[in-house]
Each structure stands twice: as structure tokens, then as C-alpha cells.
């Protein structure tokens, strides 16, 4: 009975929580923040750093100043602002790396993807936090604690150690994330109480106002919230009034949502120029894996990859790799990239690897709302084969031939081949051909024709020769007179004494004879 009672109480509490959240559904904001983002971004790219003491400097020389360092380095006395040489004297094992803007951008983009996997309305704040609209998620998660835990778990999956805050206002959520070691949920209506003990320095984008408030002796947000608004407005202007409202938990800044990107980009700078294939593929693999981890977060698949390889000392090698079907199978993509790189290797050693993925949504399986369609076990294998065949035979020599809308004989274009698994009309038995089929001779074979009293009697060419038994024609064909490759031909069908029937034509522009097909 006690168990039932407890169960009932929990259910009532959960129901009360849900009811409460439904009432306040217009104001639940989540925030993700990664402390020391440059360090976390670096650790994401280079997992070997692990727990080793690391510091990031603005430039890579002994006089460069430490911008940020991890707790292991801080515990040894390394602090931001110190020169790299001084930091090394304190801690000889200190790993010093230059600031890498590309890795920070990639980490922020990955963090945005995590937020997008929870909410369609996501914003990147100027101070680097990711805010998201969490309204409507109360039916998917039993409590906000569980929602926050799921957010953090997904962030850890992409290699970032983030903090999360959930509150009714954007500022409150941001400060909740910044003042916790993990997750902090501020219940609705408790914003002012939460903000009151926090230092006024935590307020973003208000350094000048903070200085003035310090001069007034105001150091906590609670003290600021207790000030009379009229006097504050007179002394500090509208900005001061806005700060006062924020300190009371009345943040009315809208969440400016960012559009969902169609392409995902990841970059990495190599430690040293890479001139060999294997190390280059190793670097590429890490970038591809990071992109695909982001794709899986959003349920995307990748259709094509654009590689941008920074060359030493200057220059860029750009190439695109296509896949017959969208997939996030790393080994298949690496095989395609390897084929492309082996076919045309970079001209110089590579110092930077940038990959941009063109994504596409993976459709869900039928009769299941959540299970995503398996791209097919065979599809990556086909991609590999097509890529290898293209490398073997050449570009535009492998694929599906499609007819073009032209009256010229033999016109076609090559299109990428893909497996036709279902759909479309079922093929039907064609009627028997009324005329013999043709085997094309590409390029057309130049021939000489010997005439006897203006009648062709003998054909002589590189691979064909014979006495003409019969000849039919001509059928005149003109076209493309408005272009450089004008066509003006007289076509004939000739039966030779050896039994072979050829399609011949006389180019009226050059007065040359050609054979461009064999009947039969």
C-alpha cells in the first residue's frame, strides 16, 4: 500500500509538473555552454590530449601569451596572460597549442546540431552559448532534469563537455549554464531568487554599466533588482533599465532562430605538411567521422562531400566526391575519397583538411514513426564499385546512357547509375524489331570509296574493306548550322560482298566519307 501510495504521489507530482509546464509553455529556454571552448574544441579534434596539461596561446612562439588553459595546467600555476616560456618553466610537460579558429567554429557548429536535434528554434548567442526553445518537450521527457541530462549526454557524444541550464528566460538559462558544473534547472517563477546572489559581472555585454554599478556599490544582481527603476533610468538610461529588468528575471529578448544548414563543414589543421596517402587518409577519416557524428545527431545522411585541401605553402586542392546513394557509412566514403585522391593526388603536401558535406534527410521506414530507413547493405558496395570503375575507365565513361532530344543519330548523355529497386512500369515484351539493329563505330571511321561511273564499287578503310554489292541513299541530315559544329551529311546503307552492312555518310562540308555503324 505504501508502494502504491508512493507511486501515486510520484504520478501526481509528475502530472503537476507537466501541468505546470503546460501553463508556462511559452517560456522554457535551454542553454548549452562549453567552458574554455578553444580547449574543448582542440580536445575534440585531438583526443590524445586527454587529461594532459594543455594551454592555448594566440601565436606559436615563446613570447606568445596563454589565452586559456585547462584545470591540470591551472593547478600547476599556469594562468591566462602568462607567456608560453613562463608557463613552460612552471610546467615542463605543458602542451602549448596555437589558437585554432576553425576547430572552434566546428565545435560551435556541432553544438548547434545537438541543440537542433532537440528543438527547431536554436540561437547562437554572441558570448558563445547556444540557446534553444524547449517548449513542447514535456511530453517526451518525464522531467526537465531528464531533458537536461539527455542534452548533456548527446553533447558528450560529439566530444564536447558542456554545461546546461534550463529556465524561463534566455538570460536566466545562460547564467544557469555558466554557474554550474553540469546541469541546472531554474523552476518557473524562481528566476529572481536564482539571480539575486549572482555577481553583476556575470551579465553579458554590459562592461561599462557594470563599472558604473560597481561605483555605486552594487555588486550582486539582487541588489540591482531592488533599486528603484525610475532613478536607475535617470542615471544609466534605457540600458540601465534593461539591466534592471534582466536582474529581476524579466528578460524579453527574443530567441532569434537560425536556419537549418544544408551543408555541414568540418576542418582540421595538420601538425605538419602531409605528403603521403596513408597519413592524409588518416586525417581525412577524423574529419569525416566528426561530420557523420553530427549528421547522425540530426538524422541526416550524406549525398556528396566537397574536399578542400590546403596545400603547402599556398594553394588549395578542391574536389567533390559523389555517392550513388546517401549514406553515413565512413568506410564507404573513405574508399570513395581514397579512389579520388589516388587518381589525382594533391600537387603539394597538405596542411589543412576541410570537408563540406551535402546532407539529405533520411526517410523513415513505413509503418514506423521513429525508425529510419536502412540505406541498404548493398548500396555502399555499389558506390565503391562505381567509383573504381570510373577511376578505371574515366569520367563520363561509366553510368547509364540516356537519349537526348535530337534528330542527330546516336545522341546520348551519360548519367550516374543507381539501382532501380522498385517502382516504375514493369517491362513488357517488345515487338520484334522491324529493322536490323546497329552497332556504333565511335569515332566514325574515315573511309575511301572508289567509284565507277559515279557508282560506288569498293570501300576501303582502316578496319573495313570490300566490294559494294548494293547501296541505298542518300538521306540528308542537316543541323547545328547555328553553331560551330555544323552538320551536313548524306547517309547511306551499303551491303558489302562479305555480307556486312554498314551505315556510311558523306560529310558535305569536308567531302569526306565515314562509316559510323554496322547493321546486324
Partner 1 sequence: MPIHPSKATGENILTKLQRKGALCKAAELQKPISLVSSGCEELNRMCAGGLARGHISELIVPIHGAAWMMYDLLAAGCLRNETLALVDPADGFEIESARAAGVDLNRLLWVRSPNVKQALQAVELILSCRQFDTVVLDLVLVQTTKIRTPASVWMRIKRLAAEAQSLVVVFSRQSLAGGFASVSVRASTRHRLFSDPTRPRQNARKTTLGLEIIRQKR
> What residues contact 134, with CB distance under 8 A and at least 6 apart?
28, 29, 30, 118, 119, 144, 147, 166
If we measure between CA atoms, which residue out of 97, 114, 124 comes closest to residue 39? 97
User: Distance between CA atoms of 332 and 330, rounded to whole angstroms?
Assistant: 6
Q: Residues 94, 87: contact at Cβ < 8 Å?
A: yes
- CB of 392: closest distance to partner 1 in angstroms? 5
- CB of 394: closest distance to partner 1 in angstroms? 7
Grid coordinates belonging to 440: 556504333
Residue range at the interface with partner 1 (CB under 8 A); choices 126-134, 202-210, 266-274, 437-445: 437-445
The answer to whether residue 402 forms part of the interface with partner 1 (CB under 8 A) is: yes
Q: Which of 134, 137, 398, 504 binds partner 1 (CB under 8 A)?
A: 398
If we measure between CA atoms, which residue out of 153, 149, 152, 158 comes closest to residue 47? 158
- CB of 450: closest distance to partner 1 in angstroms? 20
User: Distance between CA atoms of 352 and 355, rounded to whole angstroms?
Assistant: 10
- CB of 427: closest distance to partner 1 in angstroms? 5
Ramachandran quadrant class, 352 (left: phi over 0; alpha: psi -120 to 50; beta: rest): beta
Q: Is the Cβ of residue 368 or residue 462 nearer to partner 1 in the bound state? A: 462
The answer to whether residue 517 forms part of the interface with partner 1 (CB under 8 A) is: yes
- CB of 459: closest distance to partner 1 in angstroms? 13
Q: Which of 153, 199, 393, 457 binds partner 1 (CB under 8 A)?
A: 393
The answer to whether residue 519 forms part of the interface with partner 1 (CB under 8 A) is: yes
Q: Which of 262, 363, 364, 472 binds partner 1 (CB under 8 A)?
A: 472
The answer to whether residue 20 forms part of the interface with partner 1 (CB under 8 A) is: no
Q: Which of 23, 442, 454, 455 binds partner 1 (CB under 8 A)?
A: 442
The answer to whether residue 466 forms part of the interface with partner 1 (CB under 8 A) is: no
Q: Which of 438, 449, 477, 487 binds partner 1 (CB under 8 A)?
A: 438
Q: Give the pairing of strands 130-133 and 95-98.
A: unpaired
The answer to whether residue 47 forms part of the interface with partner 1 (CB under 8 A) is: no
Residue range at the interface with partner 1 (CB under 8 A); choices 68-76, 256-264, 341-349, 403-411: 403-411
- CB of 493: closest distance to partner 1 in angstroms? 7
Q: Which of 370, 427, 453, 483 binds partner 1 (CB under 8 A)?
A: 427
Q: Which of 399, 447, 506, 515 binds partner 1 (CB under 8 A)?
A: 399
- CB of 503: closest distance to partner 1 in angstroms? 10
Asked if residue 64 has a cis previous peptide bond (ω within 30° of 0), the answer is no
Q: Which of 441, 447, 468, 515 binds partner 1 (CB under 8 A)?
A: 441
Q: Is the Cβ of residue 226 or residue 342 nearer to partner 1 in the bound state? A: 342
Q: Residues 69, 53: contact at Cβ < 8 Å?
A: yes
DSSP 8-state code for residue 464: -
Q: Is the Cβ of residue 38 or residue 399 nearer to partner 1 in the bound state? A: 399
Residue range at the interface with partner 1 (CB under 8 A); choices 54-62, 68-76, 78-86, 421-429: 421-429
What 3 state SS string does 217-269 have? CCCEHHHHHHCCHHHHHHHHHHHHHHHHHHHCCCCCCCCCCCCCCCEEEEEEE
The answer to whether residue 457 forms part of the interface with partner 1 (CB under 8 A) is: no
The answer to whether residue 499 forms part of the interface with partner 1 (CB under 8 A) is: yes
The answer to whether residue 423 forms part of the interface with partner 1 (CB under 8 A) is: no
Q: Which of residues 333-392 bind partner 1 (CB under 8 A)?
A: 378, 381-382, 384-386, 388-389, 392
DSSP 8-state code for residue 199: B
Q: Which of residues 248-287 bind partner 1 (CB under 8 A)?
A: none
Q: Which of 366, 374, 430, 455 binds partner 1 (CB under 8 A)?
A: 430
Residue range at the interface with partner 1 (CB under 8 A); choices 168-176, 213-221, 238-246, 494-502: 494-502
- CB of 320: closest distance to partner 1 in angstroms? 21
User: Distance between CA atoms of 494 and 472, rounded to whole angstroms?
Assistant: 6
User: Distance between CA atoms of 369 and 295, rounded to whole angstroms?
Assistant: 19
The answer to whether residue 325 forms part of the interface with partner 1 (CB under 8 A) is: no
CA angle 263, 264, 269 (to 5 degrees): 135
Q: Is the Cβ of residue 366 or residue 429 nearer to partner 1 in the bound state? A: 429
Which backbone phi and psi does 314 adopt, to 5 degrees?
-135, 165
Q: Which of 2, 26, 429, 510 binds partner 1 (CB under 8 A)?
A: 429
Distance separating the N- and C-terminal Cα atoms of the chain: 91
Distance from chain centroid for Cα 276 = 26
Distance from chain centroid for Cα 342 = 24
Grid coordinates belonging to 334: 573513405
Residue range at the interface with partner 1 (CB under 8 A); choices 54-62, 68-76, 366-374, 397-405: 397-405
The answer to whether residue 71 forms part of the interface with partner 1 (CB under 8 A) is: no
- CB of 281: closest distance to partner 1 in angstroms? 21
Cα-atom radius of gyration of the chain, to the nearest Å? 35
- In sequence order, what E strands does 82-234 have? 95-98, 122-124, 130-133, 163-167, 183-185
By CB atoms closer than 10 A (0-12, 13-18, 19+), residue 318 is exposed
Helix 37-45 and helix 101-116, axial crossing angle in degrees, nearest 10: 90
Cα dihedral sign, 410-414-415-418:
positive
The runs of H, that is alpha helices, within 141-200 are 144-157, 170-178, 191-195
Note the residues at the interface with partner 1 (CB under 8 A). 378, 381-382, 384-386, 388-389, 392-394, 397-403, 409-410, 412, 414, 417, 419-420, 424, 426-430, 432-442, 463, 470, 472, 493, 495, 499-501, 517-520
Amino acid at each position: 500500500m505504501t508502494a502504491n501510495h508512493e507511486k501515486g504521489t510520484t504520478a501526481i507530482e509528475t502530472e503537476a509538473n507537466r501541468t505546470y509546464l503546460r501553463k508556462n509553455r511559452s517560456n522554457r529556454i535551454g542553454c548549452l555552454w562549453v567552458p574554455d571552448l578553444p580547449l574543448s574544441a582542440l580536445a575534440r579534434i585531438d583526443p590524445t590530449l586527454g587529461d594532459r596539461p594543455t594551454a592555448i596561446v594566440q601565436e606559436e612562439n615563446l613570447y606568445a601569451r596563454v589565452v586559456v588553459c585547462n584545470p591540470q595546467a591551472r593547478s600547476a600555476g599556469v594562468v591566462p596572460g602568462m607567456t608560453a616560456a613562463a608557463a613552460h618553466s612552471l610546467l615542463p610537460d605543458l602542451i602549448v597549442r596555437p589558437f585554432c579558429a576553425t576547430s572552434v567554429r566546428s565545435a560551435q557548429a556541432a553544438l548547434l546540431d545537438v541543440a537542433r536535434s532537440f528543438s527547431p528554434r536554436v540561437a547562437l548567442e554572441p558570448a558563445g552559448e547556444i540557446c534553444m526553445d524547449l517548449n513542447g518537450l514535456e511530453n517526451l521527457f518525464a522531467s526537465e532534469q531528464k531533458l537536461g541530462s539527455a542534452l548533456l549526454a548527446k553533447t558528450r557524444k560529439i566530444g564536447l563537455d558542456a554545461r546546461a541550464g534550463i529556465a524561463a528566460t534566455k538570460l536566466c538559462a545562460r547564467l544557469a549554464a555558466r554557474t554550474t558544473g553540469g546541469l541546472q534547472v531554474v523552476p518557473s517563477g524562481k528566476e529572481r531568487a536564482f539571480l539575486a546572489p549572482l555577481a553583476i559581472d556575470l551579465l553579458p555585454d554590459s562592461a561599462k554599466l557594470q563599472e558604473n554599478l560597481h561605483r555605486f556599490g552594487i555588486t550582486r544582481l539582487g541588489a540591482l533588482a531592488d533599486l528603484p527603476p525610475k532613478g536607475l533610468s535617470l542615471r544609466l538610461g534605457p540600458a540601465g533599465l534593461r539591466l534592471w529588468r534582466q536582474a529581476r528575471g524579466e528578460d524579453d529578448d527574443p530567441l532569434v532562430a537560425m536556419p537549418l544548414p544544408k551543408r555541414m563543414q568540418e576542418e582540421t589543421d595538420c601538425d605538419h605538411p602531409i605528403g603521403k596517402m596513408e597519413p592524409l587518409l588518416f586525417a581525412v577519416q577524423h574529419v569525416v567521422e566528426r561530420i557523420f557524428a553530427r549528421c547522425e545527431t540530426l538524422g541526416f545522411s550524406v549525398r556528396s562531400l566537397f574536399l578542400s585541401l590546403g596545400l603547402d605553402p599556398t594553394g588549395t586542392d578542391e574536389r567533390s566526391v559523389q555517392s550513388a546513394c546517401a549514406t553515413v557509412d565512413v568506410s564507404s566514403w573513405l574508399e570513395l575519397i581514397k579512389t579520388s585522391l589516388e587518381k589525382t593526388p594533391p600537387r603539394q603536401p597538405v596542411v589543412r583538411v576541410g570537408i563540406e558535406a551535402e546532407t539529405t534527410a533520411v526517410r523513415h521506414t513505413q509503418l514506423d514513426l521513429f525508425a529510419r530507413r536502412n540505406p541498404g547493405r548493398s548500396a555502399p558496395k555499389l558506390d565503391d564499385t562505381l567509383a573504381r570503375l570510373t577511376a578505371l575507365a574515366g569520367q563520363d565513361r561509366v553510368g547509364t546512357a540516356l537519349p537526348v532530344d535530337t534528330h542527330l543519330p546516336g545522341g546520348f548523355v551519360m548519367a550516374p547509375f543507381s539501382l532501380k529497386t522498385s517502382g516504375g512500369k514493369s517491362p513488357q515484351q517488345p515487338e520484334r524489331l522491324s529493322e536490323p539493329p546497329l552497332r556504333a563505330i565511335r569515332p566514325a571511321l574515315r573511309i575511301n570509296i572508289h567509284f565507277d561511273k559515279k557508282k560506288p564499287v569498293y570501300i576501303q578503310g582502316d578496319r573495313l574493306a570490300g566490294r559494294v554489292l548494293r547501296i541505298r541513299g542518300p538521306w540528308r541530315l542537316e543541323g547545328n548550322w547555328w553553331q560551330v559544329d555544323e552538320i551536313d551529311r548524306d547517309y547511306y546503307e551499303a551491303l558489302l560482298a562479305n555480307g556486312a552492312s554498314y551505315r556510311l555518310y558523306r560529310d558535305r562540308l569536308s567531302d569526306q566519307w565515314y562509316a559510323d555503324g554496322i547493321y546486324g
